[in-house]
C-alpha cells in the first residue's frame, strides 16, 4: 500500500519550541525527527513499501517521487526550505495528481499529513476552503474524498490544548469526515519535545505500519511468514450489527485444488507471503536492512541454508499447477498460489475470498469439500479429462469476445491501414477486405463515429484513382462500391446505416472469372 508523506513547510512551522537543557528547536525540526523515525521503521519492517515525499505551503512540490530508497527520503528532510503561508487544499490536490498518475484510482494509498495545525489566512486557507465546499462546481471540487481508496493520517506538531484554543481541531476533523471517515488525527501528548513526538509517531506505526506476522501450517509442517501488505479488517455489509473481521495469525492450509477448478475467483485483496527465517535461538535472520553490506549478505546466506516450508510449498504449487486453500478464520478462506513476475521470478501470493460458507459458488460449500481418496472413483477420471465441479457456462461472455478498441490513436490507425493494404491486393483479398471493412463499420456505428466512415470512403476513392494500369478491373468496381456503401452508412438515416447490415462484395462479370482462377 503506497504512502504519500505531505510535509508542511510554511512559516508557521518555523516557530521555536523551547526544550530544556538543549538548543532551541523549531516545529519543523520536531516533524523531521518524527518522520525520520517513521522512515527508519519502514526501511527495516516495510521494505516493499513505496513512499513519496511532498512539501507544501501556498504551493506544493514533489520532493521525492515514489521510492523504496529511504536514505533518499531522509536526505530530503534535511534539505527542505521555508516558504510562505499554509494552503492545505493545494497540497491535497497535489496528492490526488501524484497518486493517480503513478497508481491510478484503484490502488489503496495512505496519506500522512504533517502540519502544525495552522490553517492559513485569507483565500486558500482551510477555513475558506471548507466554507465554500458546498458552493463549488464539479470542475472545481474539493479534493476530498480522494478519488482512490485511502486513509488520511494527520500528524499535528501541537498538543490538544493548543488546537482546541482555536477552531483548528474542528477543521482537521472535518477533513477526516470528508474522506469518508477514513483516517485519524494524532496530537502530541504534553509539552512539545522529541520524546513526545516519538510517542506520537509510534502510535501511527502501531496503527498503520506494523508488519503482519503469521504462522503458516499444513499438517505437521509450519513456517513463520510475513503477509504484505497488512490485511485490512473486513466489514460484512449484510450484517445488522457489522463487526470488522480480522484474519487469524494462524493460517492453516485445509486442502489443495487444481488451478483450472478455482479458475479466476473474485477476491478482496492480494498479498505477498514472505518467509521469516529463524535461527536456533528464535531470532530473526535475513530480515531488515543492516548498515553493513557484508553483514546483510552473510545474514541472507545463513537464511538461505535453513530449510523453510514456505519455499517447499511455493515450489510445489508452481510445479503441480495447484493452489492451496487456507483457513483465515471462522467461515473465511483464501488461497495460496504462485504468481510469476517474469520468466525467472515468481512469488508466493495469498488472495482473500469474501467471508462466508460459500465464497465461490461453483465449488459449493467449503466445509463439504474433501480429499479425492474419499470418493468411490476418481472424480477427475482415469485420464484426468473431467472435473467434479460444475463447468463454466458455454455462453460466450461479452468481455471474452474480440471487440474493437480504439483507446489510443494507434489502434484506429492500424485498423484503417489494414483495410488499405487489402484494398491494394484486390481481388485476391476480397473476402478479407470486406471482413475488415465491416468490422470497422460496426465499431464506428457503435461509437457514433460517423465521420470516420466518410473519411475511409474518401480514402477508398483516392485508392481507386491511384490504381495502376495493370490492376485487375474488378478492383476499381469493388473500391467504388465499398466507398458508396460507407457514405450511405455515414448519413445515419439510410437503410444501409443499420448496425446489423453488412457490406457484401459487388458481383461483377470479372469477380466470377477471378474466383474461378483462384
Structural domain harbouring 309: 212-235+244-278+297-374
C-alpha cell at 483: 466507398
Give residue 58's pLDDT: 86
Q: Average pLDDT of 174-178?
A: 90
Of 53, 70, 68, 44, residue with least CA distance to 114: 53
In a domain, 8, yes or no: yes
Which tens digit of pLDDT belongs to each residue from 18-52?
Answer: 666 566 778 888 899 999 999 999 988 888 889 99
Mean pLDDT of 420-448: 91
Beta bridge partners of 3: 51, 110
Output the pLDDT for position 19.
Answer: 65
Residue 437 predicted with pLDDT over 90: yes
- 72 with 17, same domain: the answer is yes
Average pLDDT, the chain: 83
Angle between helices 70-77 and 27-45 (to 10 degrees): 180
Find how far residue 13's CA is from the centre of its chain: 34
Q: In angstroms, rounded to a whole number, what is the distance separating the alpha carbons of residues 76 and 412?
A: 45
Query: In 3-state terms, what secondary structure has residue 16?
Result: strand
Specify the pLDDT at position 333. 92
Lowest mean pLDDT of 143-152, 329-338, 389-398, 490-499, name the range. Answer: 389-398
98 and 160 inside one domain: yes
pLDDT at residue 80 in the model: 84
- Across the strands, what pairs with 214? 225
What mean pLDDT comes out for the span 374-397?
68
pLDDT tens-digit series, residues 106-163: 888 999 999 988 887 877 788 888 888 888 787 788 888 899 989 999 999 888 888 8
102 within some domain: yes
CATH number at 88 reads 3.40.50.410
- Rounded distance between C-alpha atoms, residue 439 and residue 496, angstroms: 15
The answer as to whether 147 is a domain residue is yes
Whether 245 contacts 333, CB under 8 Å: no
The pLDDT of residue 496 is above 80: no
Q: Please, which pLDDT band fits residue 297 given cuts at 50, 70 and 90?
A: low
Residue 214 has pLDDT above 70, yes or no: yes
- Position 413 scores a pLDDT of 92
Q: What confidence score (pLDDT) does residue 96 get? A: 92
- The C-alpha atoms of residue 43 and residue 119 are separated, in whole angstroms, by 32
Q: Give percent above pLDDT 70 in the chain.
A: 88
In a domain, 283, yes or no: no
pLDDT of res. 14: 85
If asked whether residues 122 and 135 sit together in one domain, one would say yes
Span of 19-23, 86-90, 162-166, 491-495 with lowest mean pLDDT: 19-23
DSSP notation for 213-234: EEEEEETTEEEEEEEESPPPPB
Q: What's the pLDDT score for residue 5?
A: 93
Structure-model confidence comparison of residues 511 and 212, the more confident one: 212
What stretches of 223-288 show up as alpha helix (H) in DSSP?
Answer: 259-262
Q: How confident is the model at residue 510 (pLDDT cuts 50, 70, 90)?
A: low
Mean pLDDT, rounded, for 209-222: 89
- For residue 291, name the pLDDT band (cuts at 50, 70, 90): very low
Give how far the C-alpha of residue 60 lies from the chain's centroid of Cα atoms, to the nearest Å: 25
Residue 388: inside a domain = no
Quick one: pLDDT at residue 390? Answer: 63
Q: How much is the pLDDT for 186? A: 92
Check whether 418 has a pLDDT greater than 90: yes
Q: In which residue are the cell numbers 504484505 written? A: 228
Residue 106, in any domain of the structure: yes
Residues 47, 33 share a domain: yes
Q: What is the mean pLDDT of residues 91-109?
A: 90
- pLDDT of amino acid 517: 41
Instruction: Supply 471's cell numbers.
Output: 490492376
Mean pLDDT of 400-427: 86
Under 8 Å between Cβ of 114 and 88: no
- Shared domain check, 132 and 74: yes
Residues 252 and 334 in one domain: yes
Is residue 285 domain-resident? no
Mean pLDDT of 439-447: 90
- For the stretch 236-245, pLDDT in tens is 776 667 778 8
- Is the C-alpha dihedral spanning 157, 160, 166, 168 positive or negative? positive
Asked whether the predicted pLDDT for residue 292 surpasses 70, the reply is no
* DSSP 3-state of 474: helix
pLDDT band at 516; cut points 50, 70, 90: very low
> Cα 419 to chain center, whole Å?
37
DSSP state of 245: B
Percent of the chain predicted with pLDDT > 90: 27
User: Per the structure block, which three cell numbers stand in for 364?
Assistant: 459449493
**Count of alpha carbons within 13 angstroms of residue 266, beta-carbon side:** 7
Give the model's pLDDT for residue 361.
Answer: 81
User: Quick one: average pLDDT of 6-16?
Assistant: 88
Kindly provide the residue ranges of all beta strands, DSSP E only, lying in 130-170, ordered along the sequence. Answer: 150-159
- The answer to whether residues 261 and 175 belong to one domain is no
Q: Is the model's pLDDT at 382 over the cut of 80?
A: no
> 72 with 88, same domain?
yes
The residue out of 374, 401, 433 marking a domain boundary is: 374
In this structure, the number of other CB atoms found within 10 A of the CB of residue 123 comes to 9
Q: What is the C-alpha end-to-end distance of the chain, expressed in Å?
A: 61
* pTM recorded for the entire structure: 0.66
Task: Pick the more confident residue, 493 or 2.
Answer: 2
Is 313 in the same domain as 356? yes
Mean pLDDT across the stretch 369-395? 71
Number of domains making up the chain: 3
Asked if 113 and 154 touch (Cβ cutoff 8 Å), the reply is yes
Give Dmax over CA atoms of the chain in angstroms. 105
137 and 53, same domain (yes or no): yes
Whether residues 75 and 141 share a domain: the answer is: yes
Residue 395 covered by a domain: no
The answer to whether residues 164 and 262 belong to one domain is: no
pLDDT number for residue 37: 92
Instruction: Report whether 217 contacts 250 (CB < 8 A).
Output: yes
Amino acid at each position: 500500500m503506497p504512502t504519500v508523506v505531505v510535509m508542511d513547510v510554511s512559516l508557521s512551522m518555523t516557530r521555536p519550541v523551547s526544550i530544556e537543557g538543549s538548543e532551541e528547536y523549531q516545529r519543523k525540526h520536531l516533524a523531521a525527527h518524527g518522520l525520520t523515525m517513521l522512515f527508519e521503521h519502514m526501511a527495516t519492517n516495510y521494505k516493499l513499501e513505496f513512499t513519496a515525499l511532498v512539501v507544501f505551503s501556498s504551493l506544493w512540490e514533489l520532493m521525492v517521487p515514489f521510492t523504496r530508497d529511504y536514505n533518499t527520503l531522509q536526505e530530503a528532510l534535511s534539505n527542505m526550505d521555508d516558504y510562505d503561508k499554509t494552503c492545505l487544499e493545494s497540497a491535497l490536490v497535489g496528492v490526488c495528481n501524484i497518486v493517480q498518475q503513478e497508481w491510478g484510482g484503484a490502488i489503496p494509498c495512505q496519506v500522512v499529513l504533517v502540519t502544525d495545525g495552522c490553517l492559513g489566512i485569507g483565500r486558500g486557507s482551510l477555513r475558506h476552503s471548507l466554507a465554500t465546499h458546498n458552493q463549488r462546481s464539479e470542475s472545481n471540487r474539493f479534493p476530498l474524498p480522494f478519488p482512490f481508496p485511502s486513509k488520511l493520517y494527520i500528524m499535528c506538531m501541537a498538543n490538544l490544548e493548543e488546537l482546541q484554543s482555536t477552531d483548528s481541531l474542528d477543521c482537521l476533523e472535518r477533513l477526516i469526515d470528508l474522506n469518508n471517515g477514513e483516517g485519524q488525527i494524532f496530537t502530541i501528548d504534553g509539552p512539545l519535545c522529541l520524546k513526545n513526538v516519538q510517542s506520537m509517531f509510534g502510535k501511527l506505526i502501531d496503527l498503520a505500519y506494523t508488519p503482519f506476522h503469521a504462522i503458516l501450517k499444513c499438517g505437521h509442517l509450519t513456517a513463520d511468514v510475513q503477509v504484505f501488505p497488512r490485511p485490512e479488517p473486513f466489514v460484512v455489509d449484510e450484517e445488522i450489527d457489522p463487526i470488522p473481521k480480522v484474519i487469524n495469525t494462524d493460517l492453516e492450509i485445509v486442502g489443495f485444488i487444481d488451478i483450472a477448478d478455482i479458475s479466476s475467483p473474485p477476491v478482496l485483496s492480494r498479498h505477498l507471503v514472505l518467509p521469516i527465517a529463524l535461527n536456533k535461538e528464535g531470532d530473526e535472520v535475513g530480515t531488515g536492512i543492516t548498515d553493513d553490506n557484508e553483514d546483510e549478505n552473510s545474514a541472507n546466506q545463513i537464511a538461505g541454508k535453513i530449510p523453510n516450508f514456505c519455499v517447499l510449498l511455493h515450489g510445489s504449487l508452481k510445479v503441480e499447477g495447484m493452489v492451496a486453500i487456507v483457513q483465515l478464520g471462522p467461515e473465511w478462506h483464501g488461497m495460496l498460489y504462485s504468481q510469476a513476475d517474469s520468466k525467472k521470478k515468481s512469488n508466493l501470493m495469498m488472495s482473500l475470498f469474501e467471508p462466508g460458507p460459500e465464497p465461490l459458488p461453483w465449488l459449493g460449500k467449503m466445509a463439504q469439500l474433501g480429499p479425492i481418496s474419499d470418493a468411490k472413483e476418481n472424480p477427475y477420471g482415469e485420464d484426468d479429462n473431467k472435473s467434479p465441479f460444475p463447468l463454466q457456462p458455454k455462453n460466450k461472455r461479452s468481455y471474452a469476445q474480440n471487440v474493437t478498441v480504439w483507446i489510443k490513436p494507434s489502434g484506429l490507425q492500424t485498423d484503417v491501414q489494414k483495410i488499405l493494404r487489402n484494398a491494394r491486393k484486390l481481388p485476391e483479398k476480397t473476402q478479407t477486405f470486406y471482413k475488415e471493412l465491416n468490422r470497422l463499420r460496426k465499431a464506428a456505428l457503435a461509437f457514433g463515429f460517423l465521420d470516420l466512415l466518410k473519411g475511409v470512403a474518401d480514402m477508398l476513392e483516392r485508392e481507386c484513382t491511384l490504381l495502376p494500369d495493370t490492376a485487375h478491373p474488378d478492383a476499381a468496381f469493388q473500391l467504388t462500391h465499398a466507398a458508396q456503401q460507407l457514405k450511405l452508412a455515414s448519413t445515419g438515416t439510410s437503410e444501409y446505416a443499420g448496425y446489423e447490415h453488412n457490406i457484401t462484395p459487388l458481383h461483377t462479370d470479372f469477380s466470377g472469372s477471378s474466383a474461378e482462377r483462384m
